[in-house]
C-alpha cells in the first residue's frame, strides 16, 4: 500500500457535563443527607466510587473542527441517575446500582 501522507488529529474530552453533575451531587449529598441514619449515609458514600467510575460518551456526537480537532463529550452514566434518584427518594439500598 502506498503511503500518501500523514494526518495529525487532536482528540480531546469535554468534561463540562461531568463537572456539572458532580456539583449537583455534592449539593445533593450536603442537603439530602442531613438527619438521616448512619446506615443510609454509609451506603451513600460506599457507592460513590461505582457512580463516579461510570463515565459514558454523551448522546451528542463528537464535534470535529476544520483543524481536525475532535472533541468527545462525556457524562456520568445511569448509575449516577439511579444514585441521585435513590438519595432524593430516601431509598438507598444495595439494589439501586
Count of helix runs (H) and strand runs (E) in the chain:
3, 4
Average pLDDT value for residue range 68-93: 86
**C-alpha to C-alpha distance for 37 and 29, rounded to whole angstroms:** 13
> Could you tell me if 53 and 74 are in contact, meaning their C-beta atoms sit under 8 angstroms apart?
no
Instruction: Look at residue 91 in the predicted model and tell me its pLDDT.
Output: 78
Is residue 13 over pLDDT 80? yes
Per residue in 18-65, pLDDT (tens digit) is 999 999 998 888 877 777 778 878 888 888 899 999 999 886 665 556
Amino acid at each position: 500500500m502506498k503511503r500518501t501522507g500523514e494526518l495529525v488529529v487532536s482528540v480531546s474530552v469535554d468534561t463540562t457535563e461531568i463537572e456539572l453533575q458532580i456539583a449537583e451531587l455534592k449539593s445533593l449529598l450536603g442537603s439530602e443527607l442531613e438527619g438521616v441514619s448512619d446506615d443510609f449515609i454509609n451506603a451513600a458514600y460506599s457507592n460513590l466510587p461505582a457512580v463516579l467510575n461510570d463515565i459514558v460518551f454523551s448522546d451528542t456526537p463528537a464535534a470535529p473542527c476544520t483543524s481536525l480537532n475532535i472533541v468527545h463529550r462525556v457524562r456520568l452514566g445511569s448509575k449516577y441517575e439511579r444514585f441521585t434518584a435513590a438519595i432524593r427518594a430516601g431509598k438507598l439500598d444495595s439494589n439501586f446500582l
